[in-house]
């Protein structure tokens, strides 16, 4: 019997290796992994909300009848760490810099969001009412229903979040050994953020890439370093791996590493082509290149350009 959650769907990638793909609606927002190391389970990333984290823990216990030994946070972004509180007594692991950044950003998020609760309640009521009103218009109703359920997930997460930090940190790399398989968790340095971790399961030829790789999704460049990211991708391209699990989007192969490199290089090229112009366009005036028009998170494209144009990168 498969475990069911409104937050994610479960795909088995190999014996004892599962990826949880975020549902479009629900409180996951990013992908996570459940890995049978042999004797204990390793969980890779914990989603955007405590309620999705709770289902993640239950799925791990349901799929593999053994204790959860380690939880990994690939980087500090909320959509990868806000389920941490659902794993009491389990060692949560991240790079040292990721833990520091969580200590700055996670309490800030809660401080910023908590006063917004009354407004959020109004927005939830308004979205519900508008969805009822749009009953004749399928597209509008779907959009409003999606917004309504997104806001409900956010409200629940603000009300229930207990900021929970990794208890174990590492510098360059950390091996985790079970009786069935070994995993190498290592830091890419500055890439998508100031310090991203990936998990390589060499014997399975599998890489859990966190947000160092996104598939059919605009990757967010604004918290990291595009040039560092390019060299990180070169490192990932040299690994022995067939299967790449991205932080966002469907499971892919090494082609996803190449298309991430292409995306970053394309955006750098766009920005440098405007550099010598007297009157520079604003980021909003620059169209998304054809190749990326079907990708999710389209709003991220403009943020990326603003970031690159600002910094002359």
List of residues contacting Zn ion (CB under 5 A): 77, 211
**Which CB, 77 or 147, lies closer to Zn ion?**
77
**Which CB, 40 or 47, lies closer to Zn ion?**
47
- How far is 288 from 277, CA to CA, in rounded Å? 19
Give 170's contacts (C-beta < 8 A, 6+ positions apart). Answer: 93, 94, 95, 96, 185, 187
Give 295's contacts (C-beta < 8 A, 6+ positions apart). Answer: 216, 217, 218
52 close to 60: Cβ distance less than 8 angstroms: no
**Which CB, 22 or 37, lies closer to Zn ion?**
22
- How far is 102 from 224, CA to CA, in rounded Å? 15
Q: Shortest distance, CB of residue 290 to Zn ion, whole angstroms? A: 25
Q: Shortest distance, CB of residue 193 to Zn ion, whole angstroms? A: 7
Q: Three-state DSSP class for 26?
A: coil
Give 12's contacts (C-beta < 8 A, 6+ positions apart). Answer: 18
| Token pair listed for 27 | 């409180």
Q: Shortest distance, CB of residue 48 to Zn ion, whole angstroms? A: 10
CA distances from 16 to 3, 72, 120, 136, 207 (A): 15, 17, 40, 46, 15
113 close to 78: Cβ distance less than 8 angstroms: no
**Which CB, 269 or 298, lies closer to Zn ion?**
298
**Which CB, 26 or 178, lies closer to Zn ion?**
26
Q: Shortest distance, CB of residue 231 to Zn ion, whole angstroms? A: 18
Q: Shortest distance, CB of residue 247 to Zn ion, whole angstroms? A: 6
Phi, psi values for residue 69, rounded to 5°: -90, -40
Q: Shortest distance, CB of residue 52 to Zn ion, whole angstroms? A: 15
Rg (Cα) of the chain, in Å, rounded? 20
**Which CB, 148 or 218, lies closer to Zn ion?**
218
């Amino acid at each position: 019997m498969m475990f069911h959650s409104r937050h994610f769907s479960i795909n088995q990638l190999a014996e004892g290796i599962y990826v949880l793909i975020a549902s479009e609606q629900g409180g996951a927002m990013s992908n996570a992994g459940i890995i049978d190391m042999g004797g204990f389970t390793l969980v890779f990333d914990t989603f955007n909300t405590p309620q999705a984290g709770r289902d993640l823990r239950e799925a791990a216990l349901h799929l593999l009848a053994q204790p959860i030994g380690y939880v990994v946070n690939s980087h500090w972004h909320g959509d990868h760490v806000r389920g941490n509180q659902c794993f009491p007594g389990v060692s949560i692991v991240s790079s040292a810099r990721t833990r520091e950044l969580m200590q700055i950003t996670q309490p800030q998020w809660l401080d910023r969001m908590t006063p917004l609760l009354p407004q959020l309640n109004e927005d939830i009521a308004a979205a519900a009412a508008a969805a009822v009103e749009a009953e004749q218009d399928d597209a509008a109703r779907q959009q409003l229903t999606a917004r309504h359920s997104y806001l409900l997930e956010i409200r629940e997460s603000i009300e229930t979040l207990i900021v929970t930090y990794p208890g174990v940190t590492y510098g360059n790399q950390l091996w985790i050994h079970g009786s069935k398989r070994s995993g190498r968790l290592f830091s890419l340095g500055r890439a998508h953020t100031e310090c991203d971790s990936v998990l390589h399961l060499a014997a399975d030829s599998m890489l859990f890439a966190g947000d160092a790789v996104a598939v059919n999704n605009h990757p967010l460049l604004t918290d990291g370093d595009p040039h560092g990211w390019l060299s990180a991708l070169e490192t990932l391209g040299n690994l022995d791996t067939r299967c790449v699990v991205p932080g966002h989007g469907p499971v892919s192969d090494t082609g996803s590493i190449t298309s991430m490199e292409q995306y970053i290089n394309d955006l750098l090229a766009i920005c440098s082509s405007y550099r010598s112009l007297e009157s520079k366009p604003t980021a909003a005036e620059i169209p998304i290149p054809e190749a990326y028009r079907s990708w999710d998170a389209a709003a991220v494209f403009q943020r990326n350009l603003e970031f690159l144009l600002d910094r002359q990168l």
